[in-house]
Amino acid sequence: MAVHAHPDDESSKGAATMARYVAEGAEVLVVTLTGGERGSILNPAMDRPEVRDNIGEVRRKEMAEARQILGVHQEFSGFVDSGLPEGDPLPPLPEGCFAVQPLETASEPLVRSVRSFRPHVILTYDDEGGYPHPDHIMTNRVSVEAFEAAGDPERYPGTGDPWQPLKLYYHVSFPRERFEAISAALDERGLDNPYKDLMKRFEDMERDRKTWEITTKVTCDEYFDTRDRALIAHATQIDPDGFWFAVPMDIQRASWPWEDYHLARSLVDTEMPETDLFAGVRETVGT
């Protein structure tokens, strides 16, 4: 199970991993906690009145297409996007949005989904959200709450029979090592490096934010094309001529053929570093 804040997050974080496990026969569920109703239109080609006026509906259609491409199941939890507050001082979040919900209210639908789908592994964001969007931070909180509560029959009554997941991972979406490896390959070929500005900012980013150890590298370069097609399906959010696609695919595959994770909780024995999200799970459940 992959728990995400908005439509498109599933395609920008862990998509190739999910496609790999689907191809290997795993059942994968994406839980999208909000509808992305307050998301900006980041692809200039989609910035049209009929899209702006129906952004929630459009993003649901984009999600349906991406879901088909990845081969995953997907469900919405029904919360309203909080938006990304801007300004100094920051304005209050909109009334009733996801990020202002009490923790138990925000977590109940996810606990219900965990008890229904019965995942062995859950993927989510770190406790700073991967980046400081209020919905991403709340997604971490409800994911941790669901991991810890879904197996307890005394908690969240009426949401199904208890089920205890065995491992909880955080995405490590932008590790410095990945960008260094790709940058070196680009320099070696004499190609323009779209990550130059990002590389200059890493020192500040690492000083201001927690750095998570990569405990688990899942080889999934065979599915990078699938990931990119799922990204492009989110046309309001992803510019096909933009940052995501600036590095040639052969360089991506040769330089960093993995997607990266931090093992945050585990109820099974496993050895580090891992190459499989199900390490220890397969031995425990006999699959």
pLDDT in tens, 110-150: 999 999 999 999 999 999 999 889 999 999 999 999 999 99
Q: How far is CA 212 from CA 128, 129, 203, in A?
A: 11, 12, 15
**Is residue 218 in some structural domain?**
no
Structural domain includes residue 250: no
Average pLDDT estimate for 220-249: 95
Average pLDDT for the chain: 95
Helix spans in 71-170 (H): 103-117, 134-149
Q: Classify residue 229: in a domain, yes or no.
A: no
| pLDDT recorded at residue 243 | 82
Q: What number is the average pLDDT over the span 14-43?
A: 97
Q: Encode 235-270: b = buried (16+ Cβ within 10 Å), e = exposed.
A: bbbbeeeeebbebeeebbeebbebbbbbbbebeeeb
Whole-prediction pTM value? 0.96
Is the pLDDT reported for residue 5 higher than 80? yes
Residue 209's pLDDT is 76
179: Cα separation from own chain's centroid: 19
Helix-, strand-, coil-residue percentages of the chain, each rounded to 5: 45, 15, 45
Output the domain CATH number for residue 68: 3.40.50.10320
pLDDT value of position 201:
78
* pLDDT tens digits for range 146-191: 999 999 999 999 999 999 999 999 999 889 899 999 999 999 999 9
Q: pLDDT of 67-83, one tens digit each?
A: 999 999 999 999 999 99
**Model confidence at 15: pLDDT above 70:** yes
The C-alpha atoms of residue 41 and residue 188 are separated, in whole angstroms, by: 35
Residue 182 included in any domain: no
The distance in angstroms from the start CA to the end CA of the chain is 17
Whether residue 171 is annotated as binding a ligand: the answer is no
Residue 236 forms part of a structural domain: no
Q: What is the maximum span of the chain, computed from C-alpha positions, in angstroms?
A: 61
Is position 112 within any domain?
A: yes
Please indicate, yes or no, if residue 67 is contained in any of the structural domains: yes
Domain count, the chain: 1
Quote the domain boundaries for residue 91.
2-173+258-285
- The per-residue pLDDT for range 260-275, each reduced to its tens digit, is 999 999 999 999 999 9
pLDDT, one tens digit per residue, over 182-233 is 999 999 999 999 888 877 777 776 667 788 999 999 999 999 999 999 999 9
- Within-domain flag for 214: no
Q: What is the pLDDT of residue 287?
A: 59
Cα of 73 vs its chain's centroid, Å: 15
